[in-house]
Chain A
């Protein structure tokens, strides 16, 4: 099965700075990599995703990059704002229809 590792586990940034979260996966057959954001007490929600035929995808202040050769992908948040404070999870779909999540990164944006 798929094994997804996520780093760092906590990240504190000054408002306006950038935040980067990195994930690695083990199953070379995985081809879809979503990122979910979970605010305190809420459910996880998809914020961006990337498929294996694309190296980078951007949506306003967030971007995701994928390196299939190295089996790692990253989330980049620019110009961080207080509402970006949350837990972020990376995930990878394996070819046996399982979605495996990383352990999560708690991002705190300091005002």
Chain B
């Protein structure tokens, strides 16, 4: 089944404790991206990747890191989480990148205390 898989789905952590949210897609998509969703703000792009070893900042990259060492994986790293990073996070991928349909993962709800 074609899908984008995120883990963990739910996480409660404390300020400063490094965490990684994994994202994997099995559709051989070139483009991958991370979004955070907050009430009243819609979906805001954190980072995106056009291909392996190519990553770029979205609109809200502060406090996050990503890597794209393999085509299928695009982990989101919070080196030192803070309460303002409490949010619902979505990973997404697209075959074509620009002008292509985005397929979203199920989301990861992160709470930073």
Contact = CB atoms under 8 A, between A and B. Distances in A.
Interface of A: 1, 6, 9, 31-32, 34, 36, 42-46, 49, 51, 89, 91, 93, 95, 97-104
A43 B107 contact: yes
A44 B104 contact: yes
Interface in B1-55: 31, 33, 35, 40-45, 48, 50
B43 A98 contact: no
B98 A97 contact: yes
Interface residues of B, number: 24
* Centre residue among B33, B45, B98 by max chain A CB count within 10 A: B98
8 contacts: A43-B106, A44-B43, A46-B102, A49-B101, A51-B99, A89-B43, A100-B45, A100-B59
A43 B105 contact: yes
Given A44-B104, A101-B43, 19 more contacts: A1-B59, A6-B42, A9-B40, A34-B101, A42-B106, A43-B90, A43-B104, A43-B105, A43-B107, A49-B101, A51-B99, A91-B43, A95-B98, A98-B58, A98-B59, A100-B45, A100-B59, A101-B44, A103-B42
Nearest to B4: A43
Interface of B: 31, 33, 35, 40-45, 48, 50, 56, 58-59, 90, 97-99, 101-102, 104-107
B61 to A, nearest CB: 11
Given A43-B90, A44-B104, A100-B45, A93 B98 contact: yes
